[in-house]
Structure formats: structure tokens, C-alpha cells
Amino acid sequence: MNNSAALSTDTLNLYYGTFHALINVNFQVFKNSITALIGPSGCGKSTLLRCFNRMNDLIDEVRITGSILVNEQDIRTIDIITLRKKVGMVFQRPNPFPFSIYENMIYGLKTHGMQNRKQNQEIVEKCLMAVGLWEELKDRLFTPALSLSEEMKQRLCIARLLTVEPEIILLDEPCSALDPIATLRIEELMIELKENYTILIVTHNMQQAARVSDFTGFMLLGELVEFDETSQIFTSPKNEKTEGYITGRFG
Amino acid sequence: MPMTDKALFKEKFIKGILVSFALSSLFFLFLIFIFIFIEGLPLFHKIGLKNIIFGFKWAPTKGSFGIFPMIVSSFFVTFGALIVGAPLGLSCAIYLSEYSGKKMKMFLKPALELLAGIPSVVYGFLGVIYIVPIVRDCLGGPGFSLLSASIILGIMILPTIISISFDALMGVPKTYREGSYAMGATKWQTIFRIVIPSASSGILASFILGMGRAIGETMAVIMIAGNALKIPTSILDPLRTLTGNIALELAYATGDHRLGLFSTGVVLLVIIMILNYIANFSIKRKIIK
């Protein structure tokens, strides 16, 4: 873990039409760490996550003020394709494309113009290995991705993302569609991936945040109420709202 | 409050009436089949299936009932219509579902419904007035041709292709699109590599239903196809379709001639049933997936 920020925001405000969804958010994600965002539904944690790869651009009537930095560079100065390649995202519901496993895996490569079959096959193998799917899937790469179990689908989505060599991975409640055992396995995967990637995860599950993350941010009604090392947040939170939430008094 | 006997009876009565009305459409379909097959099948028995379907000569007053040129012509016109209508219709559906804003959608959808509502005789009329002379002057031939008919039919099947393809494209889950964007794909890459392949069975169904519409179209085709009894050898040749044959001759046909027209109808009905079956099959396959 080093101390430079892979992601950061400075007085970030975001509006959906007239709704003020993010209020003066100052936030950092450090390189090669796992940072968790927790908070009750509708507090803006997914919205904040989606700022970093400009997925909010897909929604009409979004207005953003303040700055968002990726590797200390303002994202408005980065071309959106480069940005999304660098800052990958895994969604709440596993979303493999309705094609074969192999086609899912080479989608990103083809999208970025990599046509070399042999090289692509090596990348597919490497990335499937990284998520622990290679042994299980190597003999059925050409079966439909939609026939996999939910956990394997989510792993496949992570592997698919790794093919385009992101530096930062955003995970938007990646385990909410999974059973507890699958959840634990995805968490183990996250900890393995931390060595090479910076991870920002939004989660409803406080135990998950406590288990996997190095830093935790607590959000409430669009504000980042508290941000600190995970051990601090869960043992001695400074803000009474944070304490109220993690002890289950509200949320 | 429990229902009184009277209220219960009323409910049952209304349901019974609705069921019988609903089934009546099925009944009419059944009647049409019976009617056409009873009239059309005896000739197959008398002349022979092969002599009708693969016969080249249509001279019903002299005992020749070959409708092969018309079958071929019907397929030519249908594929011609598809060549014109499919790219246009699919592009329009893609624009509507992926690019257009709400305002444009609100303007385009009713316009397309209007396109579907225009009587076919009007299309035929426009074809005779504009398309036929243009084809004749620019490309030669009589103008009444496979090409003219394909252009007009291609326009006529647009509403079918657009509305069904549009539904198929809109049915592609947002999560697929997000997944693609999140990997740094451009909008066009997302549409071309994810959205269209995901909607392919619905798009295919729209083409097949469009074909069904084209092969069944009569009035516009009679007006612009020239109706010559031969297999067209170029796109500038006139041709006669199965539907055109029935419409043109039924008024004065008697005896075996009349039965011959019913046989034409049987062939047409079978072709349309096959097309509908294929379309339903491709849509169902998508639902099961």
C-alpha cells in the first residue's frame, strides 16, 4: 500500500435535475488498497462510485460541480474511452453478454482493437486464472456464459474486466445477488486482486466492508460523513451518525 | 362481503360472452382454412401436385395450371422488398431505440403508425405515378417491374420491421449496455457488438413477418408489377405474383379455372403459415433463453 491517491474528489456536488445527490464530497482512494463505501439505500454511494468512470453520463439531467481526479488527473481532461479502460466497473447483477464465455472474454480486447488470436487466448487464460475460473472453464469456453452459476457469472465479469488491464476496479454491490459462500469467495478474490489493482467497493453489507476493506467511507443523504481506516470506523467512529449506523440503530 | 348469487351469475355470464367472442376469431380462421382447402385441394388431386406447383404454363381454360412462375415471382418480390426494407427498417429501429430523444420518438412512432395505415392502393398509385416512370426512364424496360414492386413493397413493410425490431432492441437489458460502456466501448461498438446480436432473434422475426406482409400484398403489386406470366430474368422484367393472379382473374373465372385460383390460394396460405411459424419460433426461442 502506498499513499498516493488513485481516485479523489474535491468539493464534488452532483445533481439529478433538482435533486442534490452528492453534497461537497471530499474523498480519496489510495493505490493498491480496498476502500469500501457504506451507508443506507439512496445515500449516494453508488452515484459517487459511478462518477469515477463517468457512468453517470448515461443518465439525462445530471450536473456535476467540483473535481474528480484519477491518478491525480482531472477526469474531464481524460478521453472517456481511456478513462473507462483504466477505471473498470463490476455491477450489482452479474451482466455477462448473451454469448459464449470466450466471446465475453475477448469482447474488451476486440473493442480496443486487439486482433491477434494467439495473444488474446493467452490474455483470456491469464485473466480467467486470476479469478480462479480457468481450471473449471477451460474445456467449455464456447458454451453460453448465461448458463453459468451466479457466482461464476460475477467472476467472469471480473475476469472480462481484467482483460483490458484496468488500474482501478469499481464494484457496485458485487455480491448482493450471491449466496453467502459465493460472497466469501468473491471477497477472497478481491483481497488477491488488491496486489495489482486499486479497488473501490460499494456495499450494503457492513460485515463485508469490515472483512475486506482497508478504508471505509460512511455516507448519509449525499454527504460523506466519515472516512477513515476500516478498523477505526468499526471500532471507534468519531461521528455519532456513523456509530448509529454501524451499531444498527438506523439504516 | 360475499357475492350474492345474482352478482356471481352476472360475472359468469360476462366471462362466458367474452370467451365466446374471443373464440370466434379462431372460428373464422378455421372457416377460412376449410373453405380454401375444400375449394382448392380437389384440383391438386385431379391435375397433380407436381403439375401445379412445378408447372410452367398457366392456361387455366386449356387445362394447364402451372403456377411455378408465380411462386418464383412472389419470392423474388418478397426478397426484393426485404433488400429494400430490411436495412432501412433496421436502421430506423436502431436510431429510435438508441439515439433519438423522447421528442423525436413521440414524433416518429405515430408517423410510422400512419405509414402502416395508408391503404395499399395509395402505395400502388404512388408507384405507378412516380416509381414506374423513373425506373423506365433511368434503367429501361417497361417500368412495371420486379424492381418497382420491390421498392414499393419495401416501403410498405417498414412499419412491421421497425416496430418489431424496435421492441427487440428495447428489450435488451440496460445492464448489457452498461457492461459494454464500462469496458471502454464506444456507443457504436456497444450497439453493433452487443445490442444487435442480443436482439437478433427479434430482428429476424421482424424480417420474416415483413416477408409475410410482402408476400401477401396484392393491390399495390398488381398496379406496379406488370403481371406478365413468366419467370423474370432481370429486375426490370414484369412479373405476376400468387396474390395478383387470384385478384386479377377471380372475377371472370369459372369451373376448373376458378378452382385453379383456389389452389393458388392454398399454396399462398401454406407459405404464409410457414413464415409465421418460423417467426414465432425465433421469438419463442428468445423468450426461453
Matching residue, cell 471505509: A216
Q: What is the mean pLDDT of residues B75-102?
A: 93
Cell readout for B15 is: 366471462
Q: What pLDDT is attached to residue A2?
A: 52
Could you tell me the residue ranges of all domains in chain A? 5-246
- Give the chain A residue nearest B185 (alpha carbons): A111
Q: What pLDDT is attached to residue A72?
A: 85
Segments in chain B forming alpha helices (H): 5-47, 49-53, 68-94, 102-117, 120-126, 132-139, 146-156, 158-170, 174-181, 187-190, 196-198, 200-216, 219-225, 242-249, 255-288
Residues in chain A, total: 251
Please tell me whether residue B38 adopts helix, strand or coil conformation: helix
In chain B, which residues have their Cβ closer than 8 Å to the Cβ of A146?
Answer: 289
How far is Cα B245 from Cα B261, in angstroms, rounded to an integer?
7
Is A95 in contact with B184 (Cβ distance < 8 A)? no
Residues B176-224 pLDDT 10s: 999 999 998 999 999 999 999 999 989 999 999 999 999 999 999 999 9
Pairing assessment for the beta strands A62-70 and A73-74 based on DSSP bridges? antiparallel
Residue B258 is assigned to a structural domain of this protein: yes
Helix B68-94, helix B146-156: angle, nearest 10: 40
Across A87-96, A129-138, B273-282, the highest mean pLDDT is recorded for: A87-96
CB proximity list for B235: less than 8 A, separation 6 or greater = B80, B145, B146, B147, B150
Q: What pLDDT is attached to residue B16?
A: 92
Are the C-beta atoms of residues A136 and A200 closer than 8 Å to each other?
A: no
Residue B280 contacts A where some CB pair is shorter than 8 Å: no
Q: Percent of chain B beyond pLDDT 90? A: 60
Which uninterrupted H or E stretch holds A212? helix A206-212
Q: Which amino acid is at B104?
A: M
Which uninterrupted H or E stretch holds B55? none
Residues A73-88 pLDDT 10s: 888 888 888 899 999 9
Does the pLDDT at position B289 exceed 60? no
Residue B183 is assigned to a structural domain of this protein: yes
| Structural domain count of chain B | 1
Q: What pLDDT is attached to residue B172?
A: 93
Across chain A, what does the average pLDDT equal? Answer: 88
Q: Taken in order B223, B228, B233, B236, is the CA torsion positive or negative?
A: negative
How far is Cα B53 from Cα B267, in angstroms, rounded to an integer?
8
Does the pLDDT at position B282 exceed 60? yes
Residues A109-146 pLDDT 10s: 998 888 888 999 999 998 998 888 888 888 999 999 99
Largest CA distance in chain A: 56
Is A157 in contact with B179 (Cβ distance < 8 A)? yes
Q: What pLDDT is attached to residue A238?
A: 86
Please tell me whether residue A1 adopts helix, strand or coil conformation: coil
Is B183 in contact with A161 (Cβ distance < 8 A)? yes
Does the pLDDT at position B152 exceed 60? yes
How far is Cα A56 from Cα A19, in angstroms, rounded to an integer?
14
Q: What pLDDT is attached to residue A153?
A: 92
Does the pLDDT at position B2 exceed 80? no
List A14's β-bridge partners, or say none: A22, A64
| Planar angle of CA B226, B229, B230, nearest 5 degrees | 105
Residue B46 is assigned to a structural domain of this protein: no
Q: What pLDDT is attached to residue A234?
A: 87
Q: Indicate which CATH number applies to the domain containing B251.
A: 1.10.3720.10
Does the pLDDT at position A1 exceed 60? no
Q: What pLDDT is attached to residue A250?
A: 64
| A-B contacts (CB, under 8 Å) | 68
How would residue B285 be classed by pLDDT, with cut points 50, 70 and 90? low
At the fourth CATH level, the homologous superfamily of domain A5-246 is P-loop containing nucleotide triphosphate hydrolases (3.40.50.300)
Q: How many CB atoms lie within 10 A of CB B94?
A: 22
Matching residue, cell 414484369: B238
Q: How close, in Å, is residue B169 to chain A by CA atoms?
A: 14
Residues B11-20 pLDDT 10s: 899 999 999 9
User: So what's the ipTM on this one?
Assistant: 0.87
Pairing assessment for the beta strands A5-16 and A87-90 based on DSSP bridges? unpaired
